[in-house]
């Protein structure tokens, strides 16, 4: 039953994604300091820009959460070492 629910949710998300791409095919231009020699200019479909922004946001969030997780694991290991040292003495 749970697998059927997941398949249904994934199907609905895919249908919404495909209709979004189909309905938003207009071309947009992104200029980041476009007039400067070191500027960046990109032209492409709106749907591709939104999807790319979403993916970059997900990757940034994953990276920040991973760094936080590593910091917390390090603190936990230090606390466990201190606890074992106190218990052994």
Mean pLDDT of 62-83: 95
How high does pLDDT run on average in the chain? 90
35 has a pLDDT exceeding 80: no
Q: Distance between CA 81 and CA 89 in Å, rounded?
A: 13
Q: Give the model's pLDDT for residue 36.
A: 72
Mean pLDDT of 60-73: 95
Residue 16 has pLDDT above 70, yes or no: yes
Q: SS3 for 34?
A: coil
pLDDT value at residue 56: 96
**Residue-level pLDDT at 12:** 96
Decide: pTM greater than 0.75. no
Structure tokens at 73: 């694991």
């Amino acid at each position: 039953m749970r697998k059927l629910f997941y398949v249904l949710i994934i199907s609905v998300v895919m249908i919404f994604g495909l209709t979004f791409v189909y309905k938003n095919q207009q071309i947009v231009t992104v200029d980041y300091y476009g007039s400067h020699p070191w500027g960046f200019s990109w032209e492409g479909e709106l749907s591709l820009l939104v999807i790319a922004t979403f993916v970059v946001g997900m990757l940034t969030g994953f990276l920040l959460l991973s760094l936080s997780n590593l910091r917390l694991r390090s603190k936990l290991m230090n606390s466990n070492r201190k606890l074992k040292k106190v218990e052994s003495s």
